[in-house]
Amino acid sequence: MQSVRDVTFQLLREFGLTTIFGNVGSTEETFLKNFPSDFRYVLALQEASVIAIADGFAQSTGRPALVNVHTGAGLGNAMGNLLTASLNKTPLIVTAGQQTREMLLMEPWLTNVDATMFPRPWVKWAYEPVRAEDVPAAFMRAIATALQPPAGPVFLSLPLDDWEKPCVGPAVVRTVSRRIGPDNARLAEFAKALTEASSPVLIYGAAIDRGKGWSEAIALAEALGAPVWAAPACERAPFPENHPLYSGGLPFAIGPLSKKLEGHDVALVVGAPVFRYYPHVPGPYLPEGMRLLHISDDAAETARAPVGDSLLGDAVLSLAALAKLLGEPKQKTDKAREKVTHRVASSPSNGAKAKNDGLLTAEQVFTALSEIRPPNAILVEESPSNLADLHKCWPITEPASFFTFASGGLGWSLPASVGIALAERDAGRDRPVIMIIGDGAFQYSVQSIWTAAQFRLPILIVVLRNGEYCILKSLAAFQETPGVPGLDLPDIDIVSLAKGYGCDAVRLDDLEAIKRAAAEAWTKSKPTLLEIPISPEVPPLL
């Protein structure tokens, strides 16, 4: 007779879930016992890193990823990045060990009390099997749930004494659809509204890049001749940023966003929330007289939109179907193109430093790095106060080349870059990965660079050291809250931290040296960190 472990591992093989991202404890050792040689264990030293490495890996492979953390405490450490994975719509099968069933009633050490409540509301489904022999089928249901739209994390709590129990195999293997087709009648209404619009505008979201839909997104934009904005705080780039119809990223505040859409009568949002706002800047949601159409496969997202009419459906299927309904490109292409606000081309770096304090600015650093970046480089970002400069200096021109977090919770991007680099290597693509991060953000999941070093991943990590939580100073000015403590970060030796975890690391304040070090980083078989002191100047928030 097979064991629960045998049947479960066989099911995992069927789904290619042979990499387990984890941090182990006694409640997980029974699951990992005699770890099969065709499986790979990716150890991260803290669970925030475990989840985000898995998230980056899943996004990069386009497939679900399997996570194993240590009962309640490990899940607790994982929660911030679990929230982010949920908003990123990443299918993660998150598992944690549970104490022995026989002792659960009296709650010994390591009991995950109310295990299925703990990860909510950031998982689509949480379950602790009622019987040991239900474990394999629970995995099957977890995989199906994580993959079905909207994709997202699920959680299984697995008592440590289940794995040796007898189990009848093999587990039933099922497949599920990952895309919901749009309703044709509703789609025809949307197409009519777009055709009749005198000046339509498109707002594209991360679901387009997740669904590998750049060509469909371009085809619709060109068929309409409409300008394209990236949705506010978009976690992936949905459209080539060097395309003549690209207008930039929308601001994440109510009033300023609606101002940007002025002059248009119909807006179509595809694959993003309406809208991802952050600071409260009052104003109308939309300019006077505008009709908003919204396409998403997430019914919660379409339900909570404050304005507009929605269509439930996969972003890319809907784009393709709409382009078909619209037919040949319209004459107004040229007119619409004239309206597109072309972004300022970044000026080449000249080696000069900012005048005021002798330190480089983030913009100078980004411009210099952009000059030497390979065209297929992947940019992973978590640099709050410098994001606008980064987008300006570093247009994304290829799909799946920009990743950041959909949540606002720091500590995701550094470990995510590790998962992305691992997936790149697995796939034999080996696209160079550059990770740009603030000195504050770097600290949240810093342990993940050890995993990068252990797996010999040649990630270039650029830490912009302004010695502060700059964006929070901008917010304090914006919110008129002077005197907030805890916004300065003196005395952190980032180079030593990186070396301590096994990375190459150096502090540089000269643009030519930065370019040389960056170009060299991608030729190595280990991560390289550049600590770059930058001006602590605090820019306005919006």
Ligand X SMILES: Cc1ncc(C[n+]2csc(CCOP(=O)(O)OP(=O)(O)O)c2C)c(N)n1
Rounded least distance, CB 489 to ligand X, Å: 7
Least Å distance, CB 384 to Mg ion, is 8
Report d(CA 292, CA 229) in Å as an integer.
14
* CB closer to Mg ion, 47 vs 531: 531
The region of 27-35, 309-317, 422-430, 440-448 touching Mg ion under the rule CB under 5 A is: 440-448
Please compute Rg for the chain using Cα positions: 24
| Residue that the structure tokens 């699920």 belong to | 154
Member of 154, 187, 218, 410 binding ligand X (CB under 6 A) = 410
Nearer to ligand X, 77 or 258 (CB): 77
Q: Is 471 in the site for ligand X (CB under 6 A)?
A: yes
Site for ligand X in 162-221 (CB under 6 A): none
- What are 119's two structure tokens? 């990860």
Q: Are 410 and 393 in contact (CB under 8 A)?
A: no
Rounded Cα–Cα distance for residues 40 and 339 (Å): 52
SS3 427: coil
Burial 401-421 (b: 16+ CB within 10 A, else e): bbbbbbbebbbbbbbbbbbbb
Number of shown-chain residues binding Mg ion (CB under 5 A):
5
Q: Report the nearest approach of ligand X to the CB of residue 362 (Å).
A: 8
Least Å from the CB of residue 347 to ligand X: 21
Piece in contact with ligand X (CB under 6 A), picked from 54-62, 303-311, 404-412, 416-424: 404-412
384 part of the interface to ligand X, by CB under 6 A = yes
Pairing of strands 378-382, 402-403: parallel
State yes or no: cis peptide before 150, omega within 30 of 0: yes
Q: Which is nearer to Mg ion, 274 or 470 (CB)?
A: 470
Interface residue with ligand X among 154, 470, 521, 530 (CB under 6 A) is 470
Between 156 and 436, CB nearer to ligand X: 436
Q: Is 440 in the site for Mg ion (CB under 5 A)?
A: yes
Q: Residues 227, 201: contact at Cβ < 8 Å?
A: yes
Amino acid at site 208: I
Which residue, 91 or 533, is less far from Mg ion as judged by CB? 533
Shortest reach from residue 482's CB to ligand X, in Å: 18
Report the residue number, 90 or 145, with the smaller CB distance to ligand X.
90
Residue (6 or 468) nearer to ligand X, CB? 468
Minimum distance from residue 80 beta carbon to ligand X (Å): 5
Give min distance, CB of 383 to ligand X, in A.
5
Residue 223 near which of ligand X, Mg ion, none (CB within 5-8 Å, type-dependent): none
Pick from Mg ion, ligand X, none: which does 235 bind, CB < 5 to 8 A by kind?
Answer: none
Residue 439 near Mg ion by CB under 5 A: yes
* Shorter beta-carbon distance to Mg ion: residue 470 or 497: 470
- Taking CB under 6 A as the binding criterion, the range among 34-42, 54-62, 155-163, 464-472 that sits at the site for ligand X is 464-472
**Residue 384 binds which one of Mg ion, ligand X, none, with CB within 5 to 8 A depending on kind?**
ligand X
Residue 417 in the binding site for Mg ion (CB under 5 A): no
Q: Is residue 466 a contact point for ligand X (CB under 6 A)?
A: yes
Query: Closest residue to ligand X, Cβ-based?
Result: 438
Output 73 or 307, the one with its CB closest to ligand X: 73
The three-class DSSP label of residue 504 is strand
CB of 12 or CB of 472, closer to ligand X: 472
Instruction: Provide the minimum distance between the beta carbon of 319 and Mg ion in the complex, in angstroms, as a whole number.
Output: 38
Q: Is 385 in the site for ligand X (CB under 6 A)?
A: yes
Closest C-alpha to 365, from 382, 378, 351, 383: 351
Measured over the CA atoms of residue 310, residue 315, residue 317 and residue 319, the dihedral's sign is positive
Determine if 23 is a binding residue for Mg ion (CB under 5 A): no
The 3-state DSSP class for residue 131 equals coil
Return the number of the residue (255 or 539) whose C-beta is nearest ligand X.
Answer: 539
- Please name the amino acid found at residue 213: G
For residue 466, state whether it binds Mg ion (rule: CB under 5 A): yes
- How many distinct helices (H) and strands (E) make up the chain? 19, 20
Q: 158-177 b/e with 16+ CB inside 10 Å = b?
A: bbbbbbebebeeebeeeeee
Q: Are 15 and 143 in contact (CB under 8 A)?
A: yes
- Alpha-carbon span 307 to 380, nearest angstrom: 32
| Between 273 and 440, CB nearer to ligand X | 440
List of residues 6+ apart from 373 with CB closer than 8 A:
394, 432, 434
One residue of 469, 532, 533, 535 binding ligand X per CB under 6 A: 469
Q: Tell me the C-alpha to C-alpha distance, in Å, between residue 340 and each of 20, 237, 330.
A: 46, 18, 16
Q: Which of 89, 78, 331, 49 is nearest to 208 (CA)?
A: 89
DSSP state of 483: T
Contact mark string toward ligand X, 41..80, x via CB under 6 A: ---------------------------------------x
Question: Judged by CB, which is closer to ligand X: 74, or 440?
Answer: 440
Contact track, ligand X, 332-371, x by CB under 6 A = ----------------------------------------
Buried b (16+ CB within 10 A) or exposed e, 337-375: eeebeeeeebeebeeeeeeeeebbbbbbbbbbbbeebee
Residue 145 contacts ligand X per CB under 6 A: no
Q: Which of 454, 386, 382 is nearest to 417 (CA)?
A: 382
Q: Which residues of this protein are in contact with Mg ion, per CB under 5 A?
A: 438-440, 466, 470
Q: Which residues of this protein are in contact with ligand X, per CB under 6 A?
A: 80, 383-386, 408-411, 438-441, 444, 466, 468-472
